[in-house]
Structure formats: structure tokens, C-alpha cells
Amino acid sequence: MRGPHNIWRLVRTGATFERTGAMRDVLDAMDAPRPLRLAARLLGWPFKWLGYKGDEAMPPITRALSALGPAYIKFGQILSTRPDVVGADMALQLRVLQDKLPPFSVAAAKEAVQVELGESADSIFTSFSEPVAAASIAQVHRAELAETGEVVAVKVLRPGIERAFQKDIDAFYLAARMIELLSPSSRRLRPMDVIKHFEGVVQGELDLRLEAASASEFAANTEKDEGFQLPAVKWKFSGRRVMTQSWAEGVPLGDNAALDAAGHDRVVLGHRVLQLFLSHALRDGFFHADMHQGNLKVAANGDIIALDFGIMGHIDEYTRRVYAEILFGFIRRDYKRVAQVHFEAGYVPADRDVDEFARALRAVGEPIFGMDATRISMGRLLNYLFEVTERFGMQTRTELILLQRTMVVVEGVARSLDPHINIWDVARPIVEDYIKTSIGPRAVMQDLMKTAIVLGRFGPRLPDMVEAALMRQTTDAEKETPSKSGRWLFFGAGLTLGAGIALITLF
């Protein structure tokens, strides 16, 4: 779909940013060099009259993105998770970007149900309401299943949304190439990777089977978590463009007056939402990455209910251990250990000075710990930490940026419930429990067991691997040109065999 429409879309984008006054804000946030500023003005200023006017009551950047449509709104929301790209101030502005759009008709939603599920909506549901929520990608209807009478939520993609998004994503790729060409310094931020990340998030949201799978995996991970609920996926009534879940009844977590009227303890809820997030991120490595008040409810029994699983975060086990050690080091104010963890993980180049890095980390941590306990912010700490690591040559790590952004959002939710919450006191037991189970003798034994399982799976191939390595080494010796790869293969096969024997003896 790459073609002339990309140029036209960028011209329309530039014109809209000029007309709404957002162009200067965006260029300043990116610290754009002169060639990029000139190109942006050429794409915008002469065609300003072609730009969308937008809602004048909104700030310039949110006004421009809202006027340009669903893909731009969603892109703005994704960029709010990347303060490393757009700066902290711009990320804060984008965080409040809303994707509430006019709903499409009930008739169109029922038609999508019939096409996707192969049955008419009227035969599947005894009732099917007007939209109860309409966003940039999909809208939700309350319905009742004919076969069981259960009340459910039916999420339906907007008609034609896939093609509309793909056209805009193509234009975003063109813009990223232009930015890299005109601003070589921007390559450190990897604009093409930012668009690729955005495309991956959107493609996941445009296939509701993937969201259903995320909801199902999240439910399996958290089924034993006290005080936490997830709506069940109705796989029989779900597909690529339609997803059906049990209806979640509860008080919106952002409505403090309603929470108080229902008799819920907001201090307990504030502690719970923060600890649940940390448990999911550290224990499971799979967390809800959009945990704002609009996606959280409180059930009558006080359980927190999470909704909307289109954006989920994933962290591998090694990164979780690194993250936990960094947090724990800051909690203990052991800056030398925090610095060492960064070097051990390869986050900071080995040629940098670890003591100098530790002093820079102390400059980050001490002012925060000097604050009143109720003002200490883990999200702010991580934000400052990324600024320091950037100065020491640390490469951008998207999964940690997403974690940091979600941490900031969750902190905001917790503080809205309990303004006096002490973030460190609430977080400490979760981090300490993870440290005990994942970094220590028990963790070593678990890692050895996993290694033994892998070796057991490859056991039948070990003799052939060793024989092949020996033959390669013999051939190279005859040619009197020892092969470096052959030596490493021989060494690796011997090491693997030795490890296998040792583990078999151990277990």
C-alpha cells in the first residue's frame, strides 16, 4: 500500500499540526535539528489551509492528533509510553489523550457478529444494547447469551479499521525514514523501530483473538491472586473481529465518591493495585500495560477487576531479575550494587567507569529519598535513571520503557485512592519476596533443573555433535589451518557433555 497517498497523508498531517499550533511543540520536544524543522515547515506551512481544525478547547498536540483520526490517536497513546523519544513533558501531555470516537451503528455491529461467528446476532443473543463504550479501534455492547442467559460484553472492531490503520502506518514509516535521513542524531532513538513497535501493538489490537489469548493467559497467571478478578473469555462467541467476555459489574476505580458510598476502603485498594502490578511484572513477566482508572473496576466484594487487554507488557526472566535487583538496590540505597548490576547485564558499555556511574546514580537517588515518604515516586526514579543511563551510553530498551510508563500510571491510580501512600513501603515486600525466590540458592537449583531438562532433550544428539566436532578438528589439523569455529564447537560440545554428566550425577 506504499504509494503517493503517503506523501499526501504527510502533507495533511503537517498542515494540521501547523493549523493547530502543535508543530513547534513537537519539534521542540524532539529537539529537532534545523534540516528537520525546515522539512516539517515545508510539509505544513504552505498547505496550512488543508489541515484539520480540531477541537480548539484541547491543547495543541492532543487537538492535532484527535483531528487526524484513530491511527494518530493510538500513535499518540503509544508515544506517551516513550519519554525517551518525545521527552517527559510531551509524554505527560499525550498520556491524557482520549480515544473516544462517535459509535458506529448497532446494525453494523450485528453484521460483524454474523460474518465473524457464522450466526445472526439475534440467534446468539437475546438482547444487544447500544454501544456502552466507543474507542478508536472498537466499541463494546452489553448483551445476553441466548443459551445460558448470562450477561456478557461484546467487543466489535470498527468497520474498515484495518485498512485505515495500514494506510497511516505506511505514512508513518515514510516519516521515520525522512527523520533518520534529515537528523542522523535521531537514529539513536531508532525511529523505524518505534514505528515497528507501534505496528506490532496495533496489529495485536486489530485481531481480537490475540487480545482474548492475552486475557486468557493473564487469567491463568493470576487465578490465585487474592482481591483480583478478570472477565472470562467466551471463546465460542469470539473471533478475529468480535470478542465476547463475561460482564464485569463494579464501581469505576476513578470514582472516589462512588467507592466511598459503596463502603470500599480506598487505602486498601491503593495498596492492592500497586502490589498486584508489581507481582504481575516481577513474578509472571506479563502485566497489564494500560492500567488507568478507565480499565479498572471494584466488585461488590472489594476485588479489583481489570478490563481491556489490548496492550500487555512482557519481560523475560533475566530482565526481571535485573529490574528487581535495581529496585532493591535503590530501596537499600546501595548505589554501587545498582551500578554493578547495570554493567553485569550489559546495559552500560564495559569501558565506562563503574564508580563514576555509581556516583551518578547516587545523585539520582538521594534527592528522592530526601523527600517526604508520601512523595517518593518509583516512576520518577525510573525516569531519572533512564536519563542517567542514556548519558552513559545505555541503549533504549522498549520493554523497560513500557514498564516505567505503566509504573507511573499505576502510581497515579494508587495516589488518587490514597494521597498519603508510601510507595516504597508498599513495594518492598513484593520486591523482597521476588528476590528471595529468584536470586539465591533456590533460584540456582531451579536454573540447574531447567538446564538438565534442556540437556536431556538434546542428549541423543550429543555423541553426533562431539563426533562432528572431532572430525572437523582433525580435518583442520591436516590442513594446518585450525578452524576457530571448529575449536569453539569442540569446546562447546565438551562443555555441554561435561555439564550433562555433572547434572546427571547431581540429580
Strand segments, DSSP code E, in 337-376 are none
What grid cell was written down for 100?
A: 473516544
Q: ∠ CA(76), CA(79), CA(84), 5° rounding?
A: 155
Distance CA(395)–CA(188), nearest Å, equals: 8
Q: Which residue has the higher pLDDT, 355 or 88?
A: 355
> How high is the pLDDT of residue 294?
82
Distance CA(286)–CA(215), nearest Å, equals: 11
> How high is the pLDDT of residue 410?
86
Q: What is the pLDDT of residues 77-133, one digit of tens each?
A: 777 766 656 666 777 777 666 666 788 999 999 999 999 999 999 999 999 999 998
Which residues are part of the catalytic machinery? 290
Query: What distances in angstroms separate CA 159 from CA 6, 69, 103, one per listed residue?
Result: 22, 14, 11
The 3-state DSSP class for residue 31 equals coil
Q: Which of the four pLDDT bands, split at 50, 70 and 90, describes residue 370? A: low
When the pLDDT of each residue in the chain is averaged and rounded to a whole number, the result is 80
> How high is the pLDDT of residue 393?
72
Distance CA(120)–CA(422), nearest Å, equals: 52
Residue 491 has pLDDT above 50, yes or no: no
Q: Which residue has the higher pLDDT, 314 or 23?
A: 314
Q: Are 428 and 327 in contact (CB under 8 A)?
A: no
Distance CA(36)–CA(32), nearest Å, equals: 6
For residue 246, the one-letter residue type is: S
Average pLDDT value for residue range 275-285? 92
Residue 290 has pLDDT above 60, yes or no: yes
In the chain, % helix, strand, coil (3-state, to 5) comes to 65, 10, 25
Q: Which of 4-13, 144-153, 427-436, 439-448 has the highest mean pLDDT?
A: 144-153
CA torsion through residues 287, 292, 298, 302, sign: positive
Q: Are 63 and 22 in contact (CB under 8 A)?
A: yes
> How high is the pLDDT of residue 3?
55
> How high is the pLDDT of residue 507?
41
> How high is the pLDDT of residue 263?
94
Q: Which residue has the higher pLDDT, 499 or 286?
A: 286
Q: Which residue has the higher pLDDT, 18 or 85?
A: 18
Could you write out the three-class secondary structure of 151-219?
EEEEEEECCCHHHHHHHHHHHHHHHHHHHHHHCHHHHHHCHHHHHHHHHHHHHHHCCHHHHHHHHHHHH
Cα 408 from chain centroid?
Answer: 13
H-run or E-run covering 491: helix 484-506
Q: What is the pLDDT of residues 26-53, one digit of tens each?
A: 777 666 667 767 777 666 667 677 778 8
133, β-bridge pairs: 140
For residue 238, the one-letter residue type is: S
Q: What is the pLDDT of residues 405-430, one digit of tens each?
A: 788 788 888 888 988 888 878 888 88
Distance CA(218)–CA(230), nearest Å, equals: 8
DSSP 102: P
pTM: 0.73
Query: What distances in angstroms separate CA 167 from CA 10, 174, 479, one per listed residue?
Result: 11, 11, 58
Phi and psi at 32, nearest 5°, equal -65, 140
Distance CA(141)–CA(136), nearest Å, equals: 15
Q: What is the DSSP track for 379-435?
A: HHHHHHHHHHHHHTTPPP-HHHHHHHHHHHHHHHHHHHH-TT--HHHHHHHHHHHHH
Closest C-alpha to 106, from 160, 60, 64, 142: 142
